[in-house]
Amino acid sequence: MVDKMDHLYAVLDDLDDDLQAMQEDLEAVLLLLKDGEIKKAQTILEEMNSFLIDFLEPEEGCECDDEECECYVIEEGDGDGEEPEEKPAAKPEKPAPKKK
């Protein structure tokens, strides 16, 4: 259980670092747009978009489709000392189509 908690904290630290970097990138984009550097701003936004698409895709070994999802979410136990059960995760929502 301790290993799972350590892993969770490491993932959250990585996510925090990624979000801070994205915030800095967005601030840079705003400055570029203010200065009229539209092409440079567009390039940064495209890179951020690619990162988010890669980040939000299911991990390897996690086969999800419309019919059945092989992913599992581990829920915390109820404090009785027993290991928590693995339960099937909710089906992932399909992303909204991009607006032009």
pLDDT in tens, 12-25: 998 889 889 999 99
> Which of the two residues, 11 and 82, has the higher pLDDT score?
11
Give pLDDT, residue 92: 47
Q: List CB contacts of 56: < 8 A, sequence separation 6 or more.
A: 95
- For β-strands 72-74 and 86-88, DSSP reports them as antiparallel
Q: List CB contacts of 75: < 8 A, sequence separation 6 or more.
A: 84, 85, 87
Tell me the pLDDT tens digit for each residue of 28-45: 999 999 999 999 999 999
Residue percentage of the chain with pLDDT more than 70? 57
Report the C-alpha gap between 54 and 59 in whole angstroms.
10
Report the C-alpha gap between 4 and 77 in whole angstroms.
13
> Which of the two residues, 2 and 52, has the higher pLDDT score?
52
Q: pTM score, two decimals?
A: 0.51
Residue percentage of the chain with pLDDT more than 90? 30
* Mean pLDDT value across the chain: 74
